Chains A and B, each alone.
Chain A
Amino acid sequence: MNQALQIHSLVKSFKRKQGKNIVTFNALDSISLNIEKGARIGIVGVNGAGKSTLLKVISRILLPTSGSVEIFGTVNSLLEVGTGFDPELSGRDNIYLNASILGLVRTDINHIFNEILDFSGVSKFIDLPVKYLSSGMYARLAFAVATHIPGEILLIDEVLSVGDALFRKRALQKMESLITDQQRTILFVSHSTDAIAKFCNKVIWLDNGKIREFGDTMNVLDSYFNFTREDNATNVLPILSTELTNKLHGYSLTAAYVADKDAKSRNTFSTSEDIFLNLKVEVVEVSLPAIKGFHLYCAPRGGVPTETHVCAQIPEDLIPMINGVYSFTATIPKYFLASGTYRITPFVVSIGKPLIRHQYFEKAISFNVIDDDTSALIDGDRHFGVINPRFKWASGSD
């Protein structure tokens, strides 16, 4: 038996009172899944899509309304750090209580007790009631226990954001070792596409309780990003109507899109791959000089909410003066852009004063870059900013 989990036509309904009526809504609707042993499955979806409900049904916290969930192995859920922590009890008592709730027995806890203490870094205060610990220390202690969770199938729900930057780095390393343990099957819910890209080999995209897409991580994240983008931008600016283009200057932008190395148009890219920005320009009876290119905008994640942009122009010597349609590709090398959402404004503007925007498609294209290096997930490390280069280092002795 190579299956870890079989879900067949799972429906989970809730009844809610609305005025005088009782309405039923399906939090999960006809979910069918087969998950193999050792798979690391990410679950994405907007709020209310049914991600947590799915984990709760699998872990038996909620009972299915109809359908079935078959589990082949021991299952354990980590939906929250510090489940059952009692503020009046000491850190020591809480470690035993929390670990027992998570499925560990006394001998296991005795065995890992010192490891938990070292990892949490609160050994000095272990016999104090946890209500006297700072919220960061509390979270660290809770996380330290949670990462020792047993079980062949682990259900993890967004538990990465605990403690300060230093602890978060250690926490991520610990989570990585927990999730990448090949012996385990992992279902991991997160809003962090970076974390999903790093940890998971398949992704389920839930939407209104239904599976919208299930498959390869990058493909599903690509579709999900396309679905959740806030603006009207796409990754492809369709062929523009030539009637709408201003041909007085002799150049007309007819298409623009973002693609991977196989020329496949995509929304989501990993930092470890080249990104290709393609522009198509029609040349018709050139009369006036013009600049053709694009602005690349980036709104960094976190930190100061300012938008930065760079302007990239097609070099003049690359554009022939003969009538025709020409393609131009700008390559953004791998490990150049940092994780984030980028928007592109393709344009054709005339040179001189005043500058005339003949064609200016304001942030018409957008794409997402996700970092599959976990160290980049840590605030204060390499997360902020627009560029994320890999430096080449050399060493020598004086």
Chain B
Amino acid sequence: MSEIIRYRFVLERLFFRDLKSIIGYGVGDYIAHFLKPFFLAIIIAFVRSKVSKVDIISAYVTVYYGILVWWLFADTVKASIGIFRKNRSIITKIYLPKIILVTSSFWARVAAISLQAMAGVFFLPIVRPEFMTLAIASIFTVLCTILCFNLCIGISYLALRFRAIRTITEFLLFSLFFTMPVTFDTYVLGQNQTLYYAINPIGAAIDIVKNALLGRPQDNFIAALSITSWCALSFLIVPFFQKNIDRTVETI
């Protein structure tokens, strides 16, 4: 943390660089960035409303925010794989705490997804979520974000150490998308829900957000416990990363 504070201005500049590279450099890019989840949500919600016979508006809003939570996880993890190779020209020429690069990349993606989430804010009056459930969802989304950040730190290190991580991660992310409750509701899993939450905190976070938006009671205690536990455990990654990253980056 002290290094992040010391290098905060570099972090700020790298953050804006990364944000621009995600959102784009022109008006067309900005529009495409905001429309991407809208169109994807339309397709998924249409299919879901036909299959599950649910209200299409509710399906649309939940899919929209479900996708954003998923992207928060998938995009940040995917970006962290190549973070050091992307910034090779910097880290081989000047000393910079490596965590700065992961931090800027991660938070730039979080900011880009937050902008997309804000663009969907006008849906909220339609579904009318309760304030309390929304507050709970916000807390767990923050915990999920912290978990993703620590995970990205770990993945960035592993990707540097083992080249196969890129292929493995891409395959896992592709597979995981179909197990995430973006396109279905978790209650269809029946008794398996408990185990599902225990091992899949991102699924848990998506479920909590969906419950909040649809005004369902937040009775998924296991989901909350899963996110909190994984988040706490993920802090073990940081000291390991700090200890080993400088030596590993030399191999780049």
Instruction: Return chain A residues, CB-CB under 8 Å to B17.
Output: 86, 89, 93, 97
What is the CA–CA distance of A80 and B247 in the complex, to the nearest angstrom?
22
What is the CA–CA distance of A97 and B100 in the complex, to the nearest angstrom?
14
With A61-B91, A62-B250, A83-B93 known as contacts, the answer to whether A100 contacts B10 (CB < 8 A) is yes
B192 on the A face (CB < 8 A): no
Instruction: Return chain B residues, CB-CB under 8 Å to A79.
Output: 93-94
What is the CA–CA distance of A79 and B25 in the complex, to the nearest angstrom?
30
A20 on the B face (CB < 8 A): no
**A93 pairs with B9, CB closer than 8 A:** no
**B246 pairs with A63, CB closer than 8 A:** yes
**A59 pairs with B9, CB closer than 8 A:** no
For the A-B complex, the count of residue pairs with Cβ-Cβ distances under 8 Å equals: 55
Stretch of A101-109, A202-210, A218-226, A327-335 on the interface side: A101-109
Considering the complex, give the chain B residue whose CB is closest to the CB of A99: B13
Instruction: Return chain B residues, CB-CB under 8 Å to A80.
Output: 89, 93
0/1 interface trace, chain A 51-92, chain B, CB 8 Å (1 if under):
000001001111100000000000011011001101011000
Most buried by B among A76, A77, A84, A106: A84
Q: How large is the interface on B (under 10, 10 to 19, 20 to 34, 35 or more residues)?
A: 20 to 34
A96 on the B face (CB < 8 A): yes
Instruction: Return chain B residues, CB-CB under 8 Å to A77.
Output: 93-95
Considering the complex, give the chain B residue whose CB is closest to the CB of A109: B9
What is the CA–CA distance of A100 and B95 in the complex, to the nearest angstrom?
12
State how many angstroms separate the Cβ of B133 from the closest Cβ of chain A.
41
A250 on the B face (CB < 8 A): no
Most buried by A among B87, B91, B96: B96
Instruction: Return chain B residues, CB-CB under 8 Å to A106.
Output: 9
Considering the complex, give the chain B residue whose CB is closest to the CB of A157: B93
What is the CA–CA distance of A89 and B13 in the complex, to the nearest angstrom?
11
**B14 pairs with A97, CB closer than 8 A:** yes
With A89-B17, A93-B17, A129-B25 known as contacts, the answer to whether A101 contacts B94 (CB < 8 A) is yes
State how many angstroms separate the Cβ of A249 from the closest Cβ of chain B.
63
**A61 pairs with B92, CB closer than 8 A:** yes
Instruction: Return chain B residues, CB-CB under 8 Å to A89.
Output: 17, 20
Offer 25 A-B interface pairs, CB within 8 angstroms, sorted by A: A60-B95, A61-B91, A61-B92, A63-B247, A76-B94, A79-B94, A80-B89, A83-B89, A83-B90, A83-B94, A84-B89, A88-B21, A88-B25, A89-B20, A96-B13, A97-B14, A97-B17, A100-B12, A100-B13, A101-B10, A101-B13, A101-B96, A105-B9, A106-B9, A129-B25
Q: List A residues at the B interface (Cβ < 8 Å).
A: 56, 59-63, 76-77, 79-80, 83-84, 86, 88-89, 93, 96-97, 100-102, 105-106, 129
Q: List B residues at the A interface (Cβ < 8 Å).
A: 9-10, 12-14, 16-17, 20-21, 25, 87, 89-96, 246-247, 250
